[in-house]
Structure 1
Amino acid sequence: MVVAPEFRVFIGNMVTGKITADLPAASQSWGMRLNGAGSLDLTTRALSEDLRNKDLRNATATKKNYLAVAYGNTILEAGPIWKRDYDARTGVLKLGAAGLWSFLDKVKALNWAQITAGTEVTRTSLDLTGLSRGSIAREIVRLSIFGNPNNPGLPIVLPPLETGTHDRHYKGYTLPWVGDLLRKLTAVDNGPDIAFRPRYDGADPTRIEWVMTHGSEAEPLLYQAGDDWTWDGSTEESGVSDIGTKEDGSGMADRVWQPGAGSELAMKLATAQDLDLIRYAGYPWTEADAASKDVEDAAILQSHADAAMAAARRPVETWDMTVRADTSPVLGKYSPGDFAHINVPKGNPMIEAGNRRVRIMAIDGDNTQTVKLTPAPMPSGV
Structure 2
Amino acid sequence: MTPEYEVRVFDIRSGTVLAELGWSDISWDRSLNDRESAQVTCPIDITGRGAWSDLSSASMLRGISTGLWRFGLAILWGNYVCWAGPIVTAKPGVASVQFGATGLLGLFNRRRLMVYGAVDPAAASATVRFTGRSLAGIAQGIVQQSTAEYGRALPLDYLPITLEGEHERTYNGYDYKSAGEALTQLSEVIDGPDFAFDPILVRTDADERIRWQVRIGEPRLGDKKRPITWDYGTSLRELEMDIDGSSMTSYVAVPGDGQENAKIFGTAYTNELVDLGWPPLEDVNSEHSSNSNRTQLNSYAAAHLAAHKRPLVSWSATVDPALEPRLGTWRLGDWGRFDVSGHPMVDGALTSRITAVSYRQGLLDLTLTTTMQEV
1:24: how far off?
Answer: 1.6
Higher mean Cα deviation, 335-344 or 172-181? 335-344
Identity of aligned residues (%): 28
Aligned to 1:221: 220
SS of the residue corresponding to residue 207 of structure 1 reads: strand
**Which shifted more, 196-205 or 183-192?**
196-205
Residues 1:302 and 2:306 aligned together: no
Q: How far apart, CA to CA, are the structure 2 residues paired with 1:186 and 1:208?
A: 26
Q: Residue 122 and residue 342 in structure 1: after superposition, are their counterparts in 2 closer, same or farther (change >3 A)?
A: same
Match of 1:20 in 2: 18
Alignment of structure 1 residues 1-382 onto 2, 5 Å: 5-49=3-47, 53-54=56-57, 55-60=60-65, 61-88=67-94, 91-113=95-117, 115=118, 121-123=122-124, 124-146=126-148, 148-149=149-150, 151-159=151-159, 162-201=163-202, 206-216=208-218, 220-224=219-223, 227-233=226-232, 236=233, 238-280=234-276, 282-291=277-286, 292-348=288-344, 351-366=345-360, 368=362, 370-379=363-372, 381-382=374-375
TM-score (norm 1): 0.88
**Alpha-carbon offset, residue 202 of structure 1:** 6.5
CA RMSD of aligned residues (A): 2.2
SS in 1 for 2:33: coil
Task: Assess if the C-alpha contact under 8 Å between 2:235 and 2:325 holds in 1.
Answer: no
Q: Give the gaps of 5 or more residues in structure 1.
A: none
CA contact (8 A) 1:259 1:268 kept: yes
Residue number in structure 1 paired with 2:52: none
Give deviations 1:172-222, integer Å, cap 9, x for gaps.
Answer: 111110100000110111100011111123767600111212112xxx001
**How far apart in 2 are the matches of 1:28 and 1:328?**
22
Q: In the aligned structure 2, how far is the partner of 1:199 from the partner of 1:46? A: 28
SS at match of 2:23: coil
SS in 1 for 2:273: helix
TM-score (structure 2 length as normaliser):
0.89
Q: Hey, what's the Cα distance between the residues in 1 that align with 2:167 and 2:203?
A: 34
Q: Secondary structure at the match of 1:201?
A: strand
Could you tell me how far 1:263 is from its partner in structure 2? 2.0
Shift of 1:377: 4.9
Q: 1:274 to 1:134 in 2, by over 3 A?
A: same
Structure 2: distance between partners of 1:242 and 1:342? 10
Offset at residue 167 of structure 1 (A) = 0.7
